[in-house]
Amino acid sequence: MDRRRFLRNFAVGLSACALAPRLLRAEVAVAGDGTRFAQALAREPWLAGWKSVEAASFGPTVATVEGSWPPALAGTLYRNGPALFERAGLRYHHWFDGDGMVHAWRCAKGKVEHRARMVATSKYAREQAAGRFLMPAAGTTIPGASPIRNNDDVNTANTAVIRFGGRVLALWEGGSAIELDPGDLRTLGPVTWREDLVAAPFSAHPLPDRDGSLWNFGSLDLLGGSGLLLWHVGADGRTIRTATLSSDRPGYLHAFAMTQRHLVFVLTPYRMEQGSAKAFFERLRFTPDQPCRIAVVPKDALDSPRWFETDFAAVYHFADAWERGSEIFVRAVRHLDVEEMRSPMGAAMRGESRRRDDAKPSEFSTLRLDTSKGTARWESAGSRDLEFPVFDARHADATPARVFAPVRVDPVSTPYFNAIVAIDGDRRIVHRYDEGVLVEEHRFVPKPGRRRIGEGWLVGTVLDPKRHRSGLAVLDAERVADGPLATAWLPYAFPLGFHGWFAG
Ligand SMILES: [Fe+2]
């Protein structure tokens, strides 16, 4: 890649992130937020999903298993999510701002043990020592924030976690992967895949290929540029290739999709409000009047993307993708409410206990790309109000996979997911959890020794605010309607997270 151009973009990114001294005036307006949230939490226990953790670590704790935990389900579910939202009375407004806490749920011989630890990023360590927020955040203006040297100065490592090549990596959207000790979750430090790309964005949603290598991207928009940095890392941790994908206009993306032959990047158009020194997500405005741009990149020719355009779509997460003849199909969760997309559960973060009445639900959708005609279009895939889709990664990419996702179904008592759905062709199989339970991503885990696609368990975390406890549920992926085979409950609760990874 053009290193000089990259570094120029990088420098622009630094100045874009720096906060002007006049924002000190904002201090009075935001300082009381922690109190307001605490008052709302007392009325609405489900807001525990966005409550700041009060300890830097939990466990190890042996969970109490209700039901019969499958003895053959052996391994560790790692989970990550924003967990520390408040310091010195100041509360973040945006869910994505919280410092990451990584959890390890170890399953063996029908028993489950849990431990969790804050990721000791440089940001966390500095702020922990100071007892207050010091660094700019992605979605909240921090009064008197310090200038930053590079993106890793504000890296919260709060979005996802993977095990790759024996290493456990906490991932964020705008900077380095942060390596953790797989056993006790101590932070080992940022990963540098290439010496000349220190602190470059390595997104939270890398996709493993069948040869054990890992594909990923980093958004150059987060460095003040426009486009993508593409990563291909070998199973041995060495960088096989990087490439830049330039774009002539801004496009936001959080994840991507992949077939056997292609990477597919869907860029949601946006503009940044000018003349303001507010945080990234405070200035960002998605632009539904503009088309969505899609780059289809051959894995064997990263420098030869093919671009498509279609109707606007705001997407965080993708499910499966497959190719049939000259067509490429990609399934994704489209957010029809761009304000909710800009700040998911923003009202909960602010201690406003209800979602807006006019909020529109998300929609499971299929993107159809015709490479012979150069056309693209979105079609509804028939499910609404869902997120965090997963599928059996062994699925061959010639047909749609069975997709699993947290979903919100009637009757609802909170503005969050209360059920899990299996989407299998036109069939929807749903298990609704107990009243008031908040449902997170469920990972698909193949049953050991079974080769049939779809034969596996769903392993997912849930929060029971009424009983102040977090738990890990296991379902038979082929019998979702039956509900959990077992749930391992902890004697404590922690905030909801985003993504996990099961390592056998
Ligand atoms: Fe994500």
Token pair for 408? 């919100």
Average pLDDT over residues 145-162: 95
What pLDDT is stored for residue 176 in this prediction? 97
- Interval between CA 504 and ligand 1 midpoint (Å): 22
* Count of C-beta atoms within a 10 Å radius of residue 157: 32
Q: Which residues contact 263 (CB under 8 A, 6 or more apart)?
A: 215, 217, 230, 256, 257, 296, 297, 299
- Termini Cα distance of the chain: 36
pLDDT on residue 14: 33
pLDDT exceeds cutoff 60 at 343: yes
316 CA → ligand 1 middle, Å: 6
Q: What is the pLDDT of residue 236?
A: 94
Rounded alpha-carbon distances, angstroms, from residue 486 to 66, 69, 104, 379, 492: 5, 5, 18, 37, 18
| Helices marked H in 285-364 | 338-342, 346-349
% of the chain surpassing 70 pLDDT:
92
CA 443 to ligand 1 centroid distance, Å = 13
State the distance from the centre of ligand 1 to the C-alpha of 398, rounded, in angstroms: 25
Q: What is the pLDDT of residue 18?
A: 32
372 CA to middle of ligand 1, Å?
31
Percent of the chain with pLDDT over 90: 85
The residue type at 8:
R
Q: Which residues contact 493 (CB under 8 A, 6 or more apart)?
A: 48, 463, 464, 465, 468, 469, 470
Chain centre distance of CA 304: 28
Q: What's the structural domain count of the chain?
A: 1
Place of tokens 């605010």: 465
* Full residue range of the structural domain in which residue 67 is found: 3-503
Identity of the residue numbered 332: A
| pLDDT (mean) for 321-328 | 96
- Gap from CA of 318 to ligand 1 centroid (Å): 9
At residue 442, does pLDDT exceed 90? yes
Ligand 1 centroid from CA 45, angstroms: 25
Alpha-carbon distance of 349 to 304, in angstroms, equals 42
**Mean pLDDT, the chain, integer:** 91
Name the band, by pLDDT with cuts 50, 70 and 90, for residue 319: very high
Of 336, 346, 337, 412, residue with least CA distance to 378: 336
pLDDT greater than 90 at residue 430:
yes
The predicted-structure confidence for 92-117, as pLDDT tens digits, reads as follows 999 999 999 999 999 999 999 999 99
Could you tell me where the beta strands, DSSP code E, fall in 130-250?
160-164, 167-171, 178-180, 187-190, 207-208, 214-219, 227-233, 239-246
pLDDT in tens, 473-491: 999 999 999 999 999 999 9
| Lowest model confidence (mean pLDDT) among 94-98, 241-245, 379-383, 490-494 | 379-383
DSSP state for residue 93 in the 8-state scheme: S
User: Which of 18-27, 269-278, 492-501 reaches the highest mean pLDDT?
Assistant: 492-501
What does pTM read for this prediction?
A: 0.93
Spatial contact of 278 and 16, defined as CB atoms under 8 Å apart: no
Is pLDDT of 15 > 90? no
